[in-house]
Structure 1
Amino acid sequence: MSRIVIGNWKLHGSMAMLEEYFSLLSAAGVSGGNVWLGLPVPYISAARGFAEKLGVCIGAQDASRYSEGAYTGEISADMLRDVGAQFVIVGHSERRRVFGDVDDIVCEKYHRAILAGLIPVLCVGETLAERDAGYEYEVVGRQLMAAINYFSSEEGGFNAPCIIAYEPVWAIGTGRTALLEDVEAMHSFILDRLPGAKVLYGGSVKPDSVRSLFQIDSVAGVLVGGASLSASSFASICGMA
């Protein structure tokens, strides 16, 4: 089974660091279309040459909910495509928590990404309070189907590439770890609603946890956060996919 590994290379770093990062990935033998790297927008265009040499997919970590208009500072999905993005992450837990991306906003971003020809990676996941209250399936189901139903109602049917990243927010930086049965149960829940979707796991993914995760058939890949900032850690994860 060939799995997708998406690195979410966040706000840290510089162009010099990115050049070194790609050099290290190349030296480690990382290549192929199943390795994706989500980058801050200013680096996407500059990274195209490096990515093409390795056959790595590059994309963005967010897109505007708007396609055009007087929205200073916003970057549309069409703009992302024009600078070389092939995919975009929407609904990431940090966007939801820090920037207030509620379901309606995520739905619009998902819609814009598809219309622009980008593959949206839709992030869903429950908080610690929601899981402890027993609402995890209700929350994930709502987040998931809100975006899918929004697109279907606008376009008259859902036939877009579907990649879902399950982020158990309660297992990210909290000291609590998702058990393999937790992961399998939620991935199965998602697949019951979207048969044929690729469901990635994105809860504090590290090299020492990936081998076990990849023993679960419903885990089609991983969304890697902090560990993707280290080329060696990211390369190690890619090597196990």
Structure 2
Amino acid sequence: MSLPATMVGCSPKSYLTADTAERWLDALVDGLKRTPEQGEGVFVCLPAALLARGVEMLAPLGVVVGTQDVSAHPVGAFTGEDNAELLAGLGARLAMIGHPERVRYFGETPEVFGAKARAAAGAGIAPVLIVGEPERGADPERIIRPQLDAAFGEIAADAPVVVAYEPTWAIGAAEPAPPAHVVGVVARLRELLADRRGPVRVVYGGSAGPGTYAAIAAAGRAAGAPSGIPDGVFLGRAGVDAAGFLATIAEVRST
């Protein structure tokens, strides 16, 4: 599969209910239809229970729809798991892997990330790997390099992948990571991923919202570091507000 050159997306985490999800999807559809680009370059990673509905409503506009998780197990006797083949058949094109909340609350390990990435890629789903250092001031590369190796080390070099830089200390914080810091880490991420032959996209998350991408892009231009400007942003909680998500989409497109 191919990936859009620019990607601005949202994972609404587990904030949505059946009623609020329908209103959120309706608002996104209405807002995107009002733009010439419609869903071009937009992606959403939904709870598996909302995948089919999200594909039905958003995919016709060009939105890339994915899930927030994927099973590490194949088709078989794994009650409660959503295997990659099932998700792909329902229209998933992306699957999140390695989010710090999965580590904190569910004890997921790098070995699990790798198994999930292999399962996703084998079914034609692009893994969206969340990487980042746990504490402010920590060396990002020391943490991120093993995360990349664990998740992508055993999948084909030409498989499409997305990397979301989300330092754990910025997730849920009042402000995203400083723009100059993001520029430096994103530039290094591109170097670490240079051997991959398939489509690679690097986006920033971690308390991202309206204004985040423009600030990072400005910092990258000021530093003369275009490789440090991410390919887009990945919203979490801020994207549950459909108006904020739509505003961010417009911002990335204009920037």
Question: If the length of structure 2 is used for normalisation, what is the TM-score?
Answer: 0.84
2:97–2:117 Cα contact (<8 Å) kept: yes
Partner in structure 2 of residue 148 of structure 1: 152
CA deviation digits over 1:36-77, x for unaligned, max 9? Answer: 111111111122221133221111000011113332211111
Structure-2 separation of matches of 1:7 and 1:175: 18
Partner in structure 1 of residue 139 of structure 2: 135
Deviation at 1:110, TM superposition (A): 0.5
Give the letter for the 2:157 counterpart. Answer: F
Q: How does 1:51-62 map to 2 (within 5 A)?
A: 51-62=58-69
Percent identity of paired positions between Structure 1 and Structure 2: 30
**Helix, strand or coil at the partner of 2:66:** strand
Structure-2 separation of matches of 1:237 and 1:176: 15
Partner in structure 1 of residue 74 of structure 2: 67
Unpaired segments ≥5 residues, structure 2: 221-225
Deviation at 1:136, TM superposition (A): 2.3
Partner in structure 1 of residue 223 of structure 2: none
Deviation at 1:177, TM superposition (A): 4.4
Residue 113 of structure 2 is aligned to residue 95 of structure 1:
no
How many equivalent residue pairs? Answer: 233
Residue 171 of structure 2 is aligned to residue 172 of structure 1:
yes
Unpaired segments ≥5 residues, structure 1: 152-156
Structure-2 separation of matches of 1:67 and 1:136: 33
Give the letter for the 1:226 counterpart. Answer: R
Structure-1 separation of matches of 2:173 and 2:54: 33
Structure-2 separation of matches of 1:178 and 1:13: 26
Does the C-alpha gap of structure 1 residues 205 and 18 become closer, same or farther in structure 2, counting only changes over 3 Å? same
| RMSD of equivalent CA atoms | 1.9
1:39–1:60 Cα contact (<8 Å) kept: yes
Deviation at 1:146, TM superposition (A): 2.0
CA deviation digits over 1:169-197, x for unaligned, max 9? Answer: 11123456421121011111111111273
> Which has the higher mean CA deviation after the structures are superposed, 41-50 or 104-113?
41-50
Partner in structure 1 of residue 193 of structure 2: 194
1:170–1:176 Cα contact (<8 Å) kept: no
Partner in structure 2 of residue 5 of structure 1: 8
Question: If the length of structure 1 is used for normalisation, what is the TM-score?
Answer: 0.89
